[in-house]
Amino acid sequence: MVELDLQVGVAHGDATWRTVIPDFELDLGLTDDFELDIDGTNAVEGGADGRFSFDHSAPDNLWIASKIGLLDLRDRSAQTAWALGLQLGPKIPIASDAHGIGYEALVLVGRTIGTTQLALNVGGLVDPGEQVANGRPIGVESGLDVNLAIHGSRFSVLGEIGGIHFFSNNTDQLSATLGLAWQAPDAFELSVVGLAGLLPGGDRGAVLLGFSPKLALWK
């Protein structure tokens, strides 16, 4: 399968608003247990006066990762499953004033109980260096995602909480999201998600509209 997760919307950081155009993740499944991912974000930020300027682009560093499945245990009669995997790879410095290759690695744990899906990730990152901050952001991160399907419908409730603790001179981040997704019959998902920042680091709030088509390339 090839899947594109695309989100567009508006977000408010510490100092200004920005338009997210877009936040994306492209996933290419090569086998049942191996996937290639490209994850990135681009935005247009407001200036110090709060006004937008379409030449003020603010891309994030690009993460090119391999996702490797290590364990997949299913009980079809009980409709439960456990999964374990890794996601790791380099981060390419395309953000403003970034330099040097970074790296990020996560341990992924998945749990399915009926129509409820849980995903836990725990890991760490060493981002490309920031010339303004004169150093590399280094930290540990964790997140929990929940997807709860609404019985008898194509809708599901989405939720996530995640954060980063930095060992470098960067502000810790913690945020939570809540949203609603609609699954179309032809492998297409439409979602709307709200984000709230729970610590001074990161975005204070955001509203994002998501599109997620899937396509089977081979069997």
Digit-by-digit pLDDT tens for the chain (219 residues) are: 899 999 999 988 766 778 888 899 999 999 989 999 999 998 887 655 555 555 577 889 999 999 999 999 999 998 999 999 999 999 999 988 888 999 999 999 999 999 999 999 999 999 998 766 567 899 999 999 999 999 888 999 999 999 999 999 889 999 999 999 999 887 899 999 999 999 987 889 999 999 999 988 776
Domains of the chain: total: 1
Q: What is the pLDDT of residue 48?
A: 54
Please report which residue ranges of the chain form alpha helices under DSSP H: none
Cα dist. 162→49, 120, 192, 211 in Å? 31, 10, 18, 22
- The answer for residues whose C-beta is within 8 angstroms of residue 205's C-beta and 6 or more apart is 11, 12, 194, 195, 196, 197
142: containing domain: 2-215
Q: What is the DSSP letter of 15?
A: S
Which CATH number does the domain housing residue 149 bear?
2.40.160.40
